Chains A and B, each alone.
Chain A
Amino acid sequence: MFYAHSTLTAVDRTDLAKGAIWVVQNVDDRKRAEEEVFRLNAELEQRVAERTAQLAAANKELESFSYSVSHDLRAPLRAIDGFSKILLDRYAGKLDAMGRDYLRRVRAGARRMAALIDDLLALSRVTKTEMRRATLDLSELTSSIVAELKQAQPQRQVAVSITPGLIINADPSLMRVAMENLLSNAWKYSGKNSEARIEVGVVQADHDAAYFVRDNGVGFDMAYADKLFVAFQRLHKSNEFEGTGVGLATVQRIVQRHGGCAWIESAPNQGTTVYFTFAA
């Protein structure tokens, strides 16, 4: 058996009986090569599907493990913090200054760990939550978060500029988490600037609209930019700026879940701009 291409051409188009030329080409090799390519493609697709399913399962397992660990860590932490507080309240008189300082450090450590657990759980929720896209006014969302930040620190003087009418199609609760992270970072890292400014707007990047949150805060050296979207990576010391280092990892996950991407521009003492896009 072999595969062939065949063409029959009449000498006289009106009458086949007058004669014809028949050309036959053996295309067996080509056909077998096509079949082999088809078979390899199918095999590859099957392997990719299997590997994707394995990865998805492993990811899910890891997420629920992370969630359970974070959740279960809270109870002993409450005990450490609670009993340290009781020690300080009831037995402060029996401790010298160094003992009291040690206890205060224990409590500060416990609070910091609680914040890390909260952020870890928030990051886990961002991945697990079902996404529901809707038309969302990003300008309004930004205004309401900025109002909360001002209310929490009324002594701060920050000039905030928000481009009006930034309408996006995104999950409202996830976008609130993302914008809270971005705006609280901008708020925090511009804290040492007496003329702090925060700007929220949009620019055109390639074919997509890139939304941005810009501050004129401390900024950082772009040589370390790859660390920023990884959970628990920080470029500034905790005693300079509080934080757990989960915020930008959370933002990136939210943006990725919307099919977009996030990137940063910054320089030491020249502020930071975080850009993000969405798939339509």
Chain B
Amino acid sequence: MRKVGHKIVPLDHAGVGIVFLKARRILRCSKTFAAMFGYRLDELIGTSTRTLYLSQEAYETRGREAYAAVEAGGILRSRRATTSAARRLSVLCP
């Protein structure tokens, strides 16, 4: 269990990957999330989500989409196929 503000959130639960981001940098994440993309937990903490993109262009495009969606309503939902075997995430990451 990890504390986030005043709340306690179970990070490693039920196969759902959870990540806390600030300025597109990974503050904390669940082991499940790291495992989903082929990383160990300590490899991801503190890194930019850029690590997970195939290209700088994809990283920037996805970032613009995320900011636009959050400005519009605060939540961005997506459903798409992604790549984990090569320890890379093509287009999914915020």
Of A8-16, A83-91, A230-238, the one contacting chain B is: A8-16
Whether a CB of chain A sits under 8 angstroms from the CB of B36 is yes
As a 0/1 sequence over residues 2 to 33 of chain B, the CB contacts with chain A under 8 angstroms (1 = contact) are 00000000000001111111110001000001
Whether a CB of chain A sits under 8 angstroms from the CB of B66 is yes
Whether a CB of chain B sits under 8 angstroms from the CB of A7 is yes
Asked whether A6 lies within 8 Å of B70 as measured between CB atoms, the reply is no
Asked whether A1 lies within 8 Å of B94 as measured between CB atoms, the reply is no
Interface centre among A7, A13, A20, A25 (most CB of B within 10 A): A20
Q: Report chain A residues within 8 Å CB of B76.
A: 6-8
Residues of A in contact (CB 8 Å), total 24
Asked whether B84 lies within 8 Å of A7 as measured between CB atoms, the reply is no
Whether a CB of chain B sits under 8 angstroms from the CB of A24 is yes
Q: Report chain A residues within 8 Å CB of B92.
A: 4, 6, 24
Interface residues of A in 1-42 (CB under 8 A from B): 1-10, 13-14, 16-27
Tell me how far the C-beta of B48 lies from the nearest C-beta in chain A, rounded to whole angstroms.
13
Rounded to whole angstroms, the CA-CA distance of A6 and B66 in the bound complex is 12
Pick from B21, B33, B80, B81: contact of A19, CB under 8 Å:
B21
Q: Report chain A residues within 8 Å CB of B80.
A: 3-4, 6
Q: Give 15 A-B contacts (CB < 8 Å), ordered by A residue.
A: A1-B83, A3-B79, A7-B75, A7-B76, A7-B77, A8-B66, A10-B75, A16-B67, A19-B22, A20-B21, A20-B22, A22-B93, A22-B94, A23-B17, A26-B15
